[in-house]
Amino acid sequence: MIEPVLPPWPEHSPGPKPVPDRLCLQGILFVLYTGIPWQQLPLELGFGSGQTCWRRLERWQAAGVFDKLHRILLSELNAAGELDWSRACVDASHVRAKKGGAATGPSPVDRRKTGSKHHLITDGGGIPLKVITTAANVNDVTQTLALVDGVPPVAGRVGHPRKRPDALLGDKGYDSNPNRKELLRRGILPIISRKWQRDIQSLGKLRYVVEQTFALLHQFKRLAVRWERRLDLHDAFASLACALICWRGIRKR
């Protein structure tokens, strides 16, 4: 599924013959799953050096490969009726950023140590639709519309590709009247608990899926702790992890 979206290698490029894309992808997946540093990637596995896989990851991210793969897999799930567009759930989770870099800041939940925050939107069943990485001290409410607008158009059904859920579920961290107005303007019903009031009854029973998806994302050790100083490479791992979660859903089906 990923091979058709990979950028072709120049036929007359200088230097030695490049490592095959399949082996580089396996090396990238090895780093994503284990969290091992690039320089410690075992050469005996045949994936090439860590520098080779790192440069291939950089090249593929610049070409938008992982976002395209994620969109293809979402379309497969949508065609099978596995996406629940009746509602979407949003939440955020902090991760430690060991080496700093772009989109990092003092974490309010980790004694102000340098960290980042993953903002996630899922469908009603917990399938990840979009992940955004910001500094750890960025408020959740500021990313509500960015998450909603960042959901890609998903094909797979008759008619125009769909990207808008019917409703958006969020906790009190997403309470904002301007955001409510913007969601309604987009045709999305905001179901968000208000500050200084009791939580909406049974809202947690519907929103737990986004917590499950965070648990799946952070099983990939390269995402549980951020090691990349460059934001684009960290986002590449996040998009690839979302694609893998979608792929697991297809295999279960």
The answer to whether residue 129 scores a pLDDT higher than 70 is yes
12 occurs within a structural domain = no
Residue 27 tokens read as 């090396």
How far the first Cα of the chain sits from its last, in Å, is 17
Residues 224 and 179 in one domain: yes
Q: What is the CATH number of the domain that holds 153?
A: 3.30.420.10
Strand 225-226 with 88-97, pairing = parallel
Give Cα 84 to chain centroid, integer Å: 18
Torsions phi, psi for 67 (to 5 deg): -65, -40
pLDDT level of residue 62 (50, 70, 90 thresholds): very high
- Is the domain of 34 the same as that of 101? no
For the chain, the domain total comes to 2
Are residues 111 and 42 part of one domain? no
Residue 1: inside a domain = no
Position 179 in a domain: yes
Predicted pLDDT at 13:
67
Q: Where are the beta strands (DSSP E) in 72-170?
A: 88-97, 105-106, 114-123, 128-135, 167-170
Q: Do strands 167-170 and 88-97 pair parallel, antiparallel, or not at all (unpaired)?
A: parallel
| Domain annotation covers residue 9 | no
Beta bridge partners of 93: 118
DSSP helix/strand/coil, 18: coil
Does the global pTM surpass 0.85?
A: yes
Residue 115 has a pLDDT of: 96
Same domain, 232 and 175: yes
Question: Among the listed ranges 23-27, 84-88, 157-161, 218-222, which one has the minimum average pLDDT value?
Answer: 157-161
DSSP 158: S
